[in-house]
Amino acid sequence: MTRKKRRLYMLGLALLGLGSATALALTAFQDNIVFFYSPTQLQTQQVGDRNFRLGGLVEEGSIQKMQDGLTTSFRVTDTAHTIDVRYRGQLPDLFREGQGVVAEGKLTDGVFVAREVLAKHDENYMPPEVSEALKQAGVYKNPAESETKTAKKE
């Protein structure tokens, strides 16, 4: 075998290895990517049978505990559209009506079946995805701005 052929084989093997590594990395990332949607975005986009995050506000008067004590159903809204959510497990302590929430799961027969529910951690925090969705819906009120306006009026 000549030096030129040996170099060509080595280059081919290197490219094959790089291609294989790239393919493995991309399939690993594809399995871990979780998209975020608001209830309004779910009305216009098809999400298929994959996990995604749903964010918005827990609708007032919508929380219902089932008799098994573990399953809870509630509605998430961005004030323009609402989606029913069902969750089996212990909810975060800060979960309540009117608060921001992000739930991860799948849409099944028009009901979002959550496998994880995250609640905001204080009265001023809202996940960036939820605040962006509320801004797009035209109903977002920045807590810091409203406190500043109140202080200026006094």
For 45-100, how does the pLDDT look when each residue is reduced to its tens digit (9 = 90+)? 887 788 889 988 899 999 999 998 889 999 999 888 999 999 999 988 888 888 88
**Cα–Cα distance between 83 and 55 in angstroms, integer?**
10
pLDDT of residue 18: 94
Is residue 122 predicted with pLDDT exceeding 90? Answer: no
pLDDT of residue 95: 87
Within the chain, strands assigned E span 35-37, 52-58, 64-65, 71-77, 82-88, 100-108, 111-119
Three-state SS at 94: coil
pLDDT of residue 13: 94
Percent of the chain at pLDDT exceeding 90: 33
- 46 in Cβ contact with 25 (< 8 Å): no
pLDDT of residue 99: 85
Q: Is the pTM of this model over 0.85?
A: no
Q: Which residue has the tokens 């004590």?
A: 69
**Cα–Cα distance between 100 and 121 in angstroms, integer?**
9
Residues forming the annotated binding site for heme? 121, 125
Closest CA to 48 of 108, 117, 129: 108
Q: Which residue has the tokens 């204080």?
A: 122
Residues forming the annotated binding site? 121, 125
Closest CA to 101 of 109, 111, 82: 82
Which range has the worst mean pLDDT, 98-107, 112-121, 131-140?
131-140
For residues 25 and 151, the model is more confident at: 25
Contacts of 61 (CB under 8 A, 6+ apart): 97
Q: What mean pLDDT is reported for the chain? A: 82
Band of the pLDDT at 112, cuts 50, 70, 90?
Answer: very high
Task: For residue 128, report the phi and psi dihedrals to the nearest 5 degrees.
Answer: -55, -35
Phi-psi region of 86 (alpha: psi -120 to 50; beta: other; left: phi over 0): beta
Strand partners, 113: 86, 106
For residues 84 and 121, the model is more confident at: 84
pLDDT of residue 46: 81
Mean pLDDT of 113-121: 85
